[in-house]
Structure 1
C-alpha cells in the first residue's frame, strides 16, 4: 500500500475525505488555509470545522487556455457546500455548457496529482456530479 498525503492542508483523507475550514469565532466566516485575522470582522480567533462534502455549483467557467502541461479544457467552479464557498475544479464531466450548469449537484472526490520517487502520492480534491459514479 502506498503512502498518501494531502496536496493542501485543509484536505483530510481518512477515514472519509473531507475539507476543513477555519471558522471565525466572532462572526462564523469560513476560510481555507491559515488566517491571521478575519476579513469580515477582523477577529483573530478561529476554530476548525468540517465542510459538507456535497453541494451545488454557484459559478463556473470552462478553461480553454492554461499553462503548458495543464490539460484543457477543464471546468473551474465555485461550489456552495451548505453555506461554505469552495473554489474547485469539476471532474468526471464534459467541459461544455451542455453538461455543466448552475445549481448542479456535486460531491467531493479525490485524485492523485503526483507520485514521488518513493511512491508517496499527493492527493488533491475536486468535485464531480453527484450520484454519477
Structure 2
C-alpha cells in the first residue's frame, strides 16, 4: 500500500508501482531477459525458471491500437485500447487524455505512463489504475 499525500492508495494491478514515482515492473527471466507481467514458474522463451523484478521505462511508443465503440454496461465508450512498446516490452493498456479518434491516435505515437484514481472505498483507501497518454510534442 502506498501513501500519496496522507491517503492510503493501492494499485489496481500488482505490476504497477506507485513509489517513488509511478512505473511498471515486469518479471524478467534471469536466463534470457524475457519480460512477463503475470506470475511464472518457468519462462516461455527458454528453460529458465528464475525471475527478478525489472522496472520498465515510463515512456514508450504505440505499436498498435483499436478504438472500442461497444463495451460492457457501465464502461464509457469510445476508448482506445493499445499495445505500447516500453523499451522492448509490450504493454497492453488504454490510452487516456486523448480523443478516441484516428486524428489524435496513430501507430508510432510517443506516450508516457499516467496514473489515475479509480475511486475510494469507505475506509478512504484509493484504488489507482494506469494508462498511457500522449507526450506533448515541442514545436
User: TM class by shorter-chain length?
Assistant: over 0.9
Partner in structure 2 of residue 37 of structure 1: 42
SS of match in other structure, 2:24: strand
Residue of structure 2 aligned with 1:99, choices 104, 109, 114: 104
Aligned length: 132
Q: Deviations over 1:31-77 (max 9, x none)?
A: 01311111111321111010000000001000111010010000000
Distance (whole Å) between structure 1 residues aligned to residue 122 and residue 28 of structure 2: 37
Structure 2 portions without partners, runs of 5+: 1-5
Q: CA RMSD in A?
A: 1.1
Structure 1 portions without partners, runs of 5+: none
1:92 CA drift (Å): 0.5
Partner in structure 2 of residue 23 of structure 1: 28
1:2 CA drift (Å): 1.7
Partner in structure 2 of residue 52 of structure 1: 57
Greater shift after overlay, 105-114 or 36-45? 36-45
1:114 CA drift (Å): 2.3
Distance (whole Å) between structure 1 residues aligned to residue 38 and residue 57 of structure 2: 17
After TM superposition, the score normalised by the length of structure 2 is 0.91
SS of match in other structure, 1:3: strand
After TM superposition, the score normalised by the length of structure 1 is 0.95
Distance (whole Å) between structure 2 residues aligned to residue 74 and residue 127 of structure 1: 12
Distance (whole Å) between structure 2 residues aligned to residue 35 and residue 130 of structure 1: 32
Residue of structure 2 aligned with 1:11, choices 5, 8, 16: 16
Runs of 4+ in structure 1 deviating by more than 6 angstroms, as ranges, are: none
